[in-house]
Amino acid sequence: MTHRYSKIKRILKRVYRKLIPVESSPWTSGLVEDICLINLIPPQKLISFFEDCIEKLEEVRGKGIGDYLEFGVFNGNSIGSMYFAAKKYNLNSIRLFGFDSFQGLPHGSENEDAGVWKAGFYACSFEKMQDCLRRRGIDPTEISFIHGWYEDTLTDKTAVKYQLINPGIIFVDCDTYSSAKKVLDFVKPLINKPCIICFDDWKLNNLDLAEMGEYQAYNEFLEANDHFISTEIRSYNRKSKTFILSPIFVERKLVTKKSKLAI
Residue 99 within any structural domain of the chain: yes
Task: Show Cβ contacts of residue 120 under 8 Å, excluding neighbours closer than 6 positions.
Answer: 103, 104, 105
pLDDT of residue 257: 44
Bridge partners of residue 228, in order along the sequence: 247
pLDDT of residue 258: 43
Give me the amino acid identity at 92: N
CA 135 – CA 157 distance, rounded (Å): 33
Residue 118 within any structural domain of the chain: yes
Residue 189 within any structural domain of the chain: yes
Query: What CATH number should be reported for the domain holding residue 245?
Result: 3.40.50.150
Residue 1 within any structural domain of the chain: no
Number of domains into which the chain is organized: 1
Residue 2 within any structural domain of the chain: no
Tell me the average confidence (pLDDT) per consecutive run of 10 residues in the chain, 263 residues long.
96 97 69 78 94 96 93 97 96 95 95 93 94 98 98 98 98 98 99 97 96 99 97 96 90 46 36
Long-range CB contacts (< 8 A, 24+ apart) of 28-37? 28/121, 35/75, 35/124, 35/128, 35/132, 36/75, 36/128, 36/131, 36/132, 36/135
Residue 61 within any structural domain of the chain: yes
Residue 46 within any structural domain of the chain: yes
CA 201 – CA 190 distance, rounded (Å): 23
Residue 127 within any structural domain of the chain: yes
pTM: 0.92
Which domain covers residue 105, as residue numbers?
Answer: 7-262
pLDDT of residue 28: 52
Residue 1 DSSP one-character state: -
